[in-house]
Amino acid sequence: MCGIAGWVSFDGDLRTERATAAAMTDTMACRGPDDVGLYLRPHVALGHRRLAVIDVAHGRQPMALAADGGLAAGPDVERVTDEDLALAYSGEVYDFREHRARLGGRFDTDSDTEVVLRAHRAGRGRDPREVVAGFNGMFAYALWDARAQELLLVRDRLGVKPLYYRQTADGVLFGSEPKAVLAHPDVPRVVDAAGLRQVFGLVADPAHTPFAGLREVPPGHVVRVTRTGVQELRYWQLESTPHTDDVDATVRTVRELLDDTAARQLVADVPLCTLLSGGLDSSALTALAARQLGAAGQGPVRSFSVDFAGNDADFVPDEVRGTQDAPYVVDVARHVASDHTDVVLDDARLLDDAARAAVLRARDTPGMGEIDTSLYLLFAAVRQSSTVALSGESADEVFGGYIDFHDPAAVGAGTFPWLAGRMVRGHGLGDLLHERVAKELDLTGHVADAYAATMAEVPRLAGETGHDARMREVSYAYLTRFLPVLLDRKDRMSMAVGLEVRVPFCDHRLVQYVFNAPWHLKTFDGREKSLLRAATADLLPRSVVERVKSPYPSTQDPRYGAEIARRFGVLADDGTTPLGELVDLEAARSAGRDVQDRLLYVDAWLREYDVEVQL
């Protein structure tokens, strides 16, 4: 996993802009602590920061292919004079060995980066989307075609790996995170009404960001940049097809897909582990990893969990979190004989100013408060002994795990179910906006428009009606407007400490297959995630098989809430805070802990990033 940054200027000579290109690249140092490289040509700059995972010794970047097929990598790219293609790449192509065998011929490294580069060269003359569509993985990369004078910005199907760009008068600026683009001296830090809707809303936008003019490459897209302009081209999307398998065949296929994707994603030349919460998703993944690593003589699997000091005494079950994680984590760790570590966090660490500042710098935008901070601290602890971690993220969206999937009122509300149900109740900030700001943002209208656009995208299945048809809509909404929020959070918090987190449940083959399983199959045992439970029950302790879904944990120590309230009170008394221009701070004094926590992050963002709000 790595960080990339770059610049295309068709009217300039970027060989004179080394300092700026290097500054943009240096913002990605957290994503790539192991190496740095820069490729400068008259009209393109490609910057790369490397986290070495595959072919540690030779997979340096940027990589370039000469006209004769020779490869140059890292510092050597500066000496190539007849280059054909150049690449700055982040991520993993899990089936790179199959592509390597298919391509044949010369290879100078054992890295997936070289495979991607040579696959594009072999595919020259075809639509580049056909090349990208052949990859199985999580990736974001920039490919410069020196012959065609064309840049491709490519992002994986589900948007696991981020990639941002800003169009300029004669090209683009781009990077793995907003900070790479913001480091360019000509980029203003302007946030308009559309951007504030991103900050204060609870619906992901597949392409837009809070910063005006800064876009994300949409998941499943290639952005083509030429002298004539910029095009966003889709190469993948969810499709609706008839599902003809019965329950047994569906369960069997899910297991086969899980076995295969786990095997692919366990490939690394550095220490690897799993993230274990004691829930069905992470427990199944840990068990699969334990079995496969054991069979290969590479066990035991390492596993990590997060908990909070005093949680035994402080935990109170509610309608969303009914059980603590810790007992189930113990059951799984014993059952699969993992080398397990509990990361226990106390309030001092969660409230630490340096940790909270690191979270803000990682995100470049306001985040989710304490659950961001705890995830960052968990990943920092994991990184001390592992470079790669496997996560159960996205299983709830794929298999229908959230409580709101199963709430008839939320499902039938005519909006995004998480906004009508219990998952994010009490976390919204819109009710605290000043009247004039609320009127300008019109969050209600924004959500309605976003929901209508989402429903218009849903691939329909001919002849499907009733509840199965509605749940196809709900599943599509979660996969495209909710999951991106969680993937973005996990990417930023992990890469801030140089940890690569892989998400096997985002394998596009699994997502596509389960998306088309009708809802009555996904709930055939009368519970959430029926297919996943049945497919992995033989690997798990009975306690986990029977456990009801519980989301990512949060500290329940009342002292944390008291300190957040104190800090917010200080903020509300500060007549100079830019947050006061947007939010009724007096009304927010009586808001809940999580809302005040998020508002503290919004205030810090406005200040630290010197954001110019334009309404």
Confidence grade of residue 600 (pLDDT, cut at 50, 70, 90): very high
Euclidean distance between the first and final Cα of the chain, in Å?
A: 38
Cβ-Cβ contacts under 8 Å for 399 (sequence gap 6 or more): 514, 522, 528, 529, 530, 531, 532
pLDDT at 1: 65
Percent of the chain at pLDDT > 90 equals: 86
Q: How many CA atoms lie within 13 A of 558 on its CB side?
A: 3
DSSP state of 351: T
Task: Output phi, psi for 169, to 5 deg.
Answer: -65, -30
pLDDT at 402: 94
Task: Output phi, psi for 577, to 5 deg.
Answer: -65, 130
Percent of the chain at pLDDT > 70 equals: 99
Question: In the structure encoding, which two tokens stand for residue 278, read together?
Answer: 């004691």
For residue 543, pLDDT beyond 90: yes
Confidence grade of residue 346 (pLDDT, cut at 50, 70, 90): very high
Single out the residue of 282, 332, 247 nearest to residue 553, CA to CA: 282
* Rg of the chain on CA atoms, in Å: 24
pLDDT at 51: 84
Dist CA 59 CA 3 (whole Å): 14
Confidence grade of residue 317 (pLDDT, cut at 50, 70, 90): confident
Helix (H) or strand (E) holding 430: none
Lowest mean pLDDT among 63-77, 198-212, 252-266, 394-408: 63-77
Residue pair 93/115 in contact (Cβ under 8 Å)? The answer is yes
Average pLDDT over residues 3-25: 97
For residue 568, pLDDT beyond 80: yes
pLDDT at 206: 86
Task: Share the mean pLDDT of the chain.
Answer: 94
Helix (H) or strand (E) holding 66: strand 63-66
pLDDT at 75: 82
Q: Which residue has the tokens 């007096």?
A: 586
Dist CA 60 CA 393 (whole Å): 29
Q: Which residue has the tokens 């919004």?
A: 602
Residue pair 94/263 in contact (Cβ under 8 Å)? The answer is no
Confidence grade of residue 69 (pLDDT, cut at 50, 70, 90): confident
Length of the chain: 615
- Whether a cis peptide bond, with omega within 30° of 0, leads into 300 is yes
For residue 423, pLDDT beyond 80: no
pLDDT at 427: 64
Question: In the structure encoding, which two tokens stand for residue 418, read together?
Answer: 């998480």
SS3 category, 35: strand
Estimate to the nearest angstrom the gap between the alpha carbon of 142 and the chain centroid.
Answer: 18
- Give tens-digit pLDDT for 16-38: 999 999 999 999 999 998 889 99
For residue 307, pLDDT beyond 70: yes
pLDDT at 144: 97
DSSP-assigned beta bridge partners for residue 602: none
pLDDT at 112: 93
Task: Find the farthest-apart pair of alpha carbons in the chain and give their distance in angstroms, rounded.
Answer: 68
SS3 category, 122: helix
Single out the residue of 461, 490, 489 nearest to residue 475, CA to CA: 461
Q: At what angle do helices 280-295 and 247-265 cross, to 10 degrees?
A: 60
3-state SS of 556-582?
CCHHHHHHHHHHHHHHHHCCCCHHHHC
Single out the residue of 128, 130, 136 nearest to residue 153, CA to CA: 128
Dist CA 598 CA 163 (whole Å): 25
Average pLDDT over residues 522-550: 96
One-letter identity of residue 490 = K
- How buried is residue 463: exposed, middle or buried, by Cβ count under 10 Å (0-12/13-18/19+)? exposed
For residue 428, pLDDT beyond 80: no
- Give tens-digit pLDDT for 179-211: 999 999 999 999 999 999 999 988 889 899 999
- Give tens-digit pLDDT for 359-377: 999 999 998 999 999 999 9
Hey, what long-range contacts does 400-404 have (CB within 8 A, 24 or more apart)? 400/471, 400/475, 400/519, 400/522, 400/523, 400/528, 400/529, 401/280, 401/281, 401/528, 401/529, 401/549, 402/478, 402/528, 402/549, 402/551, 403/319, 403/320, 403/528, 403/549
Cα-based distances in Å from 22 to 16, 42, 145: 12, 15, 21
Average pLDDT over residues 424-448: 89
Lowest mean pLDDT among 44-58, 72-86, 568-582: 72-86
DSSP state of 81: S
Single out the residue of 608, 609, 384, 343 nearest to residue 497, CA to CA: 384
pLDDT at 195: 96
Q: Which residue has the higher pLDDT, 329 or 69?
A: 329
SS3 category, 140: strand
Residue pair 584/430 in contact (Cβ under 8 Å)? The answer is no
pLDDT at 319: 76
SS3 category, 304: strand
For residue 426, pLDDT beyond 60: no
Tell me the catalytic residues. 2
pLDDT at 316: 84
Task: Output phi, psi for 285, to 5 deg.
Answer: -65, -40
E strand spans, 276-380: 302-308, 339-345
Cβ-Cβ contacts under 8 Å for 143 (sequence gap 6 or more): 85, 86, 87, 117, 120, 128, 151, 152, 154
For residue 425, pLDDT beyond 70: no
Q: Which residue has the tokens 């809940």?
A: 592
Average pLDDT over residues 514-535: 97
Question: In the structure encoding, which two tokens stand for residue 34, read together?
Answer: 């192991």
Single out the residue of 336, 357, 243 nearest to residue 291, CA to CA: 336
SS3 category, 410: helix
